[in-house]
Amino acid sequence: MRRSLRLTALTAGLIVLVAGAPVQAQDRDSLGADLDTILADPGLAGADVGLVVTTPDGDVVYQRAPERRRQPASNAKLATSAAALEVLGPDHTFTTTVATPARRTGAVLNGNLYLKGTGDPTMLAADYDALAATVAATGTRVVTGNLTADDTWFDDIRLGLSWAWDDEPYYYNAQVSALTVSPDEDFDAGSIIVRVAPGAAGQRPTVTTDPPTNYVRVVNNATTGPAGSSNTTTVDRVHGTNTFTITGSIPAGASAQSEWMAVWEPTGYAAALFRASLQRHGVTVLGPTVRAATPSDARVLATRESIPLSELQVPFLKLSNNLHAEILVKSMGRKVSGEGSWDAGRPVLVDALTTLGVTGALSMADGSGLSRMDQISPAQLAQLLSGATTRPWFPAWFDALPVAGNPDRLTGGTLRSRMAGTAAEGNVHAKTGSLTGVTGLSGYVDTAGGERLVFSMLTNNTIGINAKTIEDRVAVRLAEEGGDTTAATTAPRTTTYPQDLECSWVKAC
């Protein structure tokens, strides 16, 4: 199926900004000169760098090439999360139900059992087990019909437009379905954890999955190497299947290695876990697992409600969760037009940005920023950040942003290892973004002078430099503004973090 991509000129009017030489407000000469120096780093030669700094009211403090659209990477999640709060509301929840139109005779349900999802990314194996226990508590012991998985709340297009094929096996590029499973409370929907534990030297390691399921197949071609040897273990998934192949060597006595991997067809994955749970609770489904919509006359036997969207923002933004973004895009489409698809959701997302004061043309091919077809400018992100401050949901949204230098994983998020020991520590709340050759940092900084500033920096086409170090220098300098400049340092402590992926995507933060 060919999917359309919307390039929208927002109806609030065009913002006209001059590219080229940086512009500073008259009383910001020192700040502007320092930012000019940072952006003159020779490592950025040939790269496309845009930086906008404003007050929350939108007054420009500094700008360089502000209006040029760039790939935002995961800075796109700022747009998706804010739009979802506008459209769905902070109290929005996802419901998963078990229902049947069939009559029960004694312990026998004479018909089909329906498992229906609405995109809940927080569904764990334990939640499906709880639904199964509730069904068992009705007295049902045999279902004569099928176990029917109803994922019709969304369409059946599983992967986003222009997502990279070589990322497809990995959890941060998992498939989107209205009926899905997360393996742990990071809520990485549509994925499974594959754990490789060493055996005796020369023997096969032990491979397990979390959650345990027969929906996937493991091919263990790995070996256990001598104690102290290199760990060369890799986990891959054969395209179009749920066959996971483990190769390489893991040293004897080493800790188990865990890899988060995307599952092929998460609808079937959820149904398999639910069927296994039913069996454990003494309920046997005689028919196969099929996919179909739940009849309108079906009565609900069990239900599970998710946490509200305001709370989901924390794992979504702190850990830069791609699947949350895409589920929200489809959910917005479902609410506004009755169609849970990217084609329906993207226009809703873009229209919502106008209510937040974003002007000009932009392109949103997905909600997560994985797509190389996403195009937005730093000026537009700064407008979004300014507009968000006027919304009643802003405090929860602000708290959900990663916090520089805070070591707590669900506070610092993707910034927990960045800018520690500088003026930015605890004072920069911002969203990171990472793809090969692309990096972004956009959010808020509370300065040493007691002022809050909005900033957005997008850098594209980098080669041979980790431009996140330059983002950090910019954020630190902003945090120092209004303080004792003689004691300031614009060089944050060196930290090792990946530059091509969000650190959370490789579980490094």
Per residue in 357-369, pLDDT tens? 999 999 999 999 9
Half-sphere exposure of 146 (CA within 13 A, CB side): 11
User: What is the mean predicted confidence (pLDDT) over 74-85?
Assistant: 98
- The answer to whether residue 298 is domain-embedded is yes
Do both 273 and 248 map to the same domain?
no
Q: What pLDDT is recorded for position 69?
A: 97
Question: Quick one: three-class SS letters along 18-30?
Answer: CCCCCEECHHHHH
Do both 340 and 459 map to the same domain?
yes
Domain containing residue 72: 23-91+310-506
Contacts of 29 (CB under 8 A, 6+ apart): none
Number of domains in the chain: 3
Do both 130 and 273 map to the same domain?
yes
36 vs 32, 430, 433, CA distance in Å? Answer: 6, 21, 22
DSSP 381-399: HHHHHHHHTTSTTHHHHHH
Alpha-carbon span 429 to 493, nearest angstrom: 18
Q: Tokens standing for 221?
A: 């071609």
Lowest mean pLDDT among 26-35, 74-83, 161-170: 26-35
Do both 198 and 336 map to the same domain?
no
Alpha-carbon span 211 to 30, nearest angstrom: 55
Do both 43 and 126 map to the same domain?
no
Give per-residue pLDDT as tens, 219-270: 999 999 999 999 999 999 999 999 999 999 999 999 999 999 999 999 999 9
Do both 333 and 451 map to the same domain?
yes
Query: For residue 131, with 0-12 CB atoms within 10 Å meaning exposed, 13-18 middle and 19 or more buried, which class applies?
Result: buried
Judged against a pLDDT cut of 60, whether residue 19 lies above it is answered with no
User: What is the mean predicted confidence (pLDDT) over 101-124?
Assistant: 97
- The answer to whether residue 166 is domain-embedded is no
Among 28-32, 126-130, 461-465, the range with the most confident prediction by mean pLDDT is: 126-130
Do both 380 and 396 map to the same domain?
yes
Do both 110 and 227 map to the same domain?
no
Do both 77 and 125 map to the same domain?
no
Judged against a pLDDT cut of 60, whether residue 7 lies above it is answered with no
Q: Side chain identity at 209, as an amino acid letter?
A: T
- The answer to whether residue 167 is domain-embedded is no
- Closest-CA residue to 400 (of 505, 313, 309, 312): 313
Q: Tokens standing for 124?
A: 């764990």
Domain-terminating residue out of 262, 296, 320: 262
Q: What pLDDT is recorded for position 155?
A: 98
Q: What pLDDT is recorded for position 168?
A: 94
Judged against a pLDDT cut of 50, whether residue 494 lies above it is answered with no
What CATH number should be reported for the domain holding residue 41? 3.40.710.10
% of the chain surpassing 70 pLDDT:
92
Judged against a pLDDT cut of 80, whether residue 81 lies above it is answered with yes
- Would you call 507 a catalytic residue per the annotation? no
> Residues 77, 116, 318, 468: which is the catalytic one?
77
β-strand partners of 49 = 459
DSSP letter for 467, please: T
Query: For residue 317, with 0-12 CB atoms within 10 Å meaning exposed, 13-18 middle and 19 or more buried, which class applies?
Result: buried
Judged against a pLDDT cut of 60, whether residue 78 lies above it is answered with yes
Contacts of 333 (CB under 8 A, 6+ apart): 339, 340, 341, 342, 343, 344, 345, 346, 348
DSSP H or E run through 302? strand 299-305
Give per-residue pLDDT as tens, 86-110: 999 999 999 999 999 999 999 999 9
- Would you call 468 a catalytic residue per the annotation? no
> Residues 74, 81, 191, 386: which is the catalytic one?
74
> Residues 191, 310, 320, 417: which is the catalytic one?
320
- Would you call 368 a catalytic residue per the annotation? no
Domain-terminating residue out of 307, 340, 368: 307
Q: pLDDT confidence of 172, banded at 50, 70, 90?
A: very high
- The answer to whether residue 1 is domain-embedded is no
Contacts of 372 (CB under 8 A, 6+ apart): 71, 162, 164, 435
What CATH number should be reported for the domain holding residue 270? 3.50.80.20
Give per-residue pLDDT as tens, 137-154: 999 999 999 999 999 999
Give per-residue pLDDT as tens, 297-347: 999 999 999 999 999 999 999 999 999 999 999 999 999 999 999 999 999
Q: pLDDT confidence of 485, banded at 50, 70, 90?
A: low
- Closest-CA residue to 385 (of 97, 41, 54, 146): 54
Contacts of 262 (CB under 8 A, 6+ apart): 168, 169, 170, 171, 173, 174, 175, 190, 191, 237
DSSP letter for 167, please: G
> 0.75 cut: is pTM over it?
yes
Across all residues in the chain, what is the average pLDDT?
Answer: 92
Contacts of 1 (CB under 8 A, 6+ apart): 157
Q: pLDDT confidence of 217, banded at 50, 70, 90?
A: very high
- The answer to whether residue 239 is domain-embedded is yes
Do both 370 and 482 map to the same domain?
yes
User: What is the mean predicted confidence (pLDDT) over 177-197?
Assistant: 98
